[in-house]
Amino acid sequence: MSGDGRETTGGEPTRAVAQGTFDLLHPGHVHYLREAADHGDELHVIVARSSNVSHKEDPVLPARQRRDVVGAIDAVDEAHLGHESDIFVPIERIDPDVIVLGYDQHHDEDAVAAALDDRGIDCDVARAGPREPKYEDELLSTGRIVDRILERRG
């Protein structure tokens, strides 16, 4: 194990990948990234481009800004923008040992594993655990942050 608590294999560094929108970064995002970092020696994060976000409201912040903020988190070794049309392109380039899905992300682990297998990408798929609020009014959702802003300033 390395000095920062990450696993080491003695040879090539193990690469973990986390991915998401990361709009209006909050403690739940930080928890996910720290937990994903524990799966390898390096953590690469793929930040979705706005055009690829179809399962929820469009992000408030531009993709490059979201990438830069995610890249500033200590647990993250490198932050990447997602590909504009093929979400697996950065994964092929990074060649991870494990992809760590967020606790509440809409992705199905088996479907992701099958898609990786279809593309000849040999890596595991794991899911991060939840982060419970530490105090009563802590917000762990971008949607709830937006709702609070609208409630107070809208």
CATH code, domain with 37: 3.40.50.620
Q: What pLDDT score does 154 carry?
A: 80
Q: Is the pLDDT of residue 117 over 50?
A: yes
* 104 annotated to a ligand binding site: yes
Q: Is residue 1 part of a domain?
A: no
Q: What is the pTM of this model?
A: 0.88
Max avg pLDDT among 8-22, 30-44, 94-108, 140-154: 30-44
Q: Please check if 22 is assigned to a binding site.
A: yes
Question: Does residue 3 sit within a domain?
Answer: no
Residue 59 domain-assigned?
A: yes
29 is annotated as contributing to ligand binding: yes
* pLDDT (average), residues 48-72: 88
Domain membership flag for residue 38: yes
Task: Please indicate, yes or no, if residue 123 is contained in any of the structural domains.
Answer: yes
pLDDT beyond 70 at 8: no
* Residue 68, domain member (yes or no): yes
Does the residue 22 lie in any domain?
A: yes
| Alpha-carbon separation of residue 119 from 92, 96, 111 (angstroms) | 9, 13, 13
Structural domain range at position 78: 15-153
Q: Is residue 148 part of a domain?
A: yes
Answer yes or no: is 10 a known binding residue: no
Residue 88 assigned to a binding site: no
Mean per-residue pLDDT over the chain, rounded: 90
Residue 51, pLDDT score: 73
The total of structural domains in the chain comes to: 1
8 assigned binding-site residue: no
